[in-house]
Structure 1
Amino acid sequence: MDNMDFLTESKIAEFNRLLRLPQPALDVLYEAAAIVREHSGLRELLRQSGLSRIPVADADNDMGALAATVAEYPKFLEDHAAYLRTEMGDRAGMFAVILVLGLLDRTIAYYGSKRIPEEVLIETLKDLTIWMKHHYAHNGTWGLAELSWLLNHATGQLFRLGRLQFAHKAFNHAVVVLRNANSGEVVILSEPGVNYRRDGRVDGTNGKYESEQGWQARYDQSDDRFIVGNPIRSSGFASEETIRLSASDWVVVLRRGDPVLEVHIPEDGPMRPEQCRESFDNATRFYREQFPEKPYRAFVCTSWLLDPQLADLVPAPANITSFQKTFSLFPVLSDERETYRRVFGTDDLDPVTASRDTGLRRAIVEYAEAGHLLHGGAGLLLADAI
C-alpha cells in the first residue's frame, strides 16, 4: 500500500471524530502509527495485506469484495505475530487497529453512498473501543484481539441500530420452522440427524456426551400428507417424542440457508426491554429503507444470555428474562466458557475465589457450586411477528 495518509496524526484525529477512542488508547494509536510510518518492513506488511486492490471509488458496489479481500486479515496477523512483537514491542496489538483504520475511508464512502446516517456509523464503531478495552484488561496494553469481528463493522456487514447490532446472513442452525396456515401457530422441529441428550440438549453440550443413552432427531416429509419430526419445546430443549403435522396445514417458513438478520448484543450497559424493542423496530425500518434488496425471514440470536437456565437464576422481571421471551428458544452446541467470560472475565470459574458482588454473579457461582453448568442458547423471532 503506497498511500499511508491514514497513518498520519491528522487523519487519525479525523477518524477519531467517529471512533471516539478514549485518550489513552488514542495516544497509543498515534505512537503505533508513527512506528509503522517510519519502518520500511512494517510498511511492506501493509502493502502485502491486499487492501489496495479495492479503491475507495468502488465502495458503493464492492463492499462484498472488500469483505472477501480482508477475510484473511486474522490469519495474516497470526502469521506475522512474532515479527510484529519484535518490531513493535508492546504496541504490536495495535497493528490490528491500524488495519481497521486502513478500511475506514471505504466504510465512510459506503455509508455516504447508502445515505446511512453518520450516527449509525458512530454507534457501530463503538465496538472498537469496547474490544480495545478488553485487550487492555487482559494484556495490560492497548490493542485489538477481535479483528475478525470488527471487520464486519468496517465492511458494512453489521450495523448497530440502538441497543442491538444486526447483520444480514444466511440461517445456519439445525432447525426447521413451520407455521399453521389456518391458526398461525408456529412449531420448531429439529433437523434430522442431530444427536441430543436425554435432557434435550445437543449431545456434547458442556463437553458431555450420551452416546448410549442419547437419541437422534428425525425429520420426514417423504409422505406428502404429513411432516414428522422432533419438536423443540417452549423451554428451549428438544423433545424425543415425535409429532406428526398435516402437510396441507403447515408451511415451512424458515430453514437452513434462508436470509435472516442475526442479532448481536454489544457489551454496553443494561439491556432494558424498551431499548431492545426499539432496536428491532429500528432494524425493520433500516433494512426496508436502506437495503430493500436484502429481505429476511427472521431475527436470530445466539448468545450465553439465551441459556434457558438463566431465567431460573435471575429475579423476575429481569432484563435477561425479558430478552429471552422475545424469542422462541432452541438448543445449540455450546459450553459454559462464554458465560464465565462475559460475567467474570475468565473462561474458568473457581467458586471459592469468584466474585459475588452482583446478583447475577452470586447466582451463577451458587449454581456452579451445586454442580450445574450453564451454556449458550439460540432463539428466533419471525420477521412478520414484529
Structure 2
Amino acid sequence: MKKVLWIIVAVLFIVVLIIGFGTWFIKKEFKEDDPEFVLQLIKEQADSKNVALSIVHNGKQLADVNSDQPLPLASTMKIIVAIEYAQQAAEGTIDPEEKVSLQELEKYYISKTDGGAHQAWIDSLNSLEQVPISEVANGMIAFSSNANTDFLINLLGVDHINDVLIQTELSAHEPIYSIGGGMFIPLTIMEEGNLSKKEALKVLEDMSLDDYRARANEIFKNWNEKPPTSEEKKESASALDMKFQKIWSDRLPRATTSDYVSLMEKLNSKQYFSKETHTFLDPVMEGLMQNPQNREWLKHAGQKGGSTAFVLTKAMYAEDKKGNRTEFAFFANDLGTIEQMQLTKKLNSFQLEILTNPSFRSKVEKILGTSNSVNQTE
C-alpha cells in the first residue's frame, strides 16, 4: 500500500513539475516585451528569404533585409484601398458620410475566415444598422474586416485601386483583387467540374496567377447580381482546408518591404498626397493616435498589419514631437507555427524600441543594416 502511495505521490510531483515548467516556458517564450527575440529571428531567418525588413529613421536606412524579395501582404495591402478611398472622398467621387446598411456589408462576409475581425467591428457599433462609408473604411483598417474591404473594392473600383500602385511607384506590388472572391475559387472549381477536393487542388496548383486573379474578380463581380447565400458561404469556408488555405495565402498580392517603406515615407511626410486626401486618410490610418499615451509623445503615427496561418506582415510610419520620423515594413512567410506566434506577441515591442531607443537602433543597424551580408536577393 505504501508503495502505491509513493507511486501516486511521485506521479503527482512529476505532473506538477511538468505543468510548472510548461507555464514558465510559455511565459518566457511568449512574453510581449522581447525586442531582442525579433532581432535575432530576423538575423537567423534572413538567408531563407522568408523574412524581409526595411526600416528608415530620419531618412537613413537602418535595416535592409531581403527588401527586394516579394512576399504575400495579407491585410497590409488594405492600406492601398484606404488611400484610394481617401482620394475619392477628397475629389467628391464618393461621399464618406453616405450611409451603408450592415445588411449590404453582409453580402461580402464569410464567417470563420477572418479571425473574428468583422464581428468585432460589428460589436463595436452598439447595435447600429447603418454606418457612414468612413466607418466602413475604419473597420477595414482598425479591425481588418475583409467584408468591408471587398465592399470598398466594389465601391471604388478595383482598377482605380490598382492605379494607386502606379501613382505611388510601387513597382514590385502585384495587383489587388477581391479577398472573398479568392476564397470562393476552390468551391467554384469543385462545383463546376464536379471535382473532388484532391482534383480541385491539382487544378488550383496548375492555375497561373493571372488566371487565378481573373477568376477571383469574376466571382466577385457576379456577387453584384447574385450574392452568395449563407449556405454557399458556409460550404466555401468548409472547403478551405489547410492545403487550400496555403494556396490562397501564397496567391494574395505580394510586394516588397522596399516598396512599403517608401509608401510609409510618403504617408509620413504629409506632402505626397493632397491635404484634402489626408483629411480623410489620417482618421482611418492613424488609430494609434486615439490612445492618449501615444498623443503625449507622437505627432502622428499609422500602421496596418496582416496575417494568415502562414503570413505575418506590418507596415508603420510615425513622427514624434521632436520631429524624428520612422518608417517600418516587415513581412514574413512560411515561418514555423511557434515562431509566428512569438513574433505576433513581440513585434510591437521591437517597433517601440526602434521608435524610442537610440542604442537599440544602432544595434539593429549594425546587425541588419545595408552593409550586412544578409540583405538582398540575388
Q: Which has the higher contact order (CA 8 A, sep 6+)?
A: 2
Question: Could you tell me the TM-score, scaled by structure 2's length?
Answer: 0.23
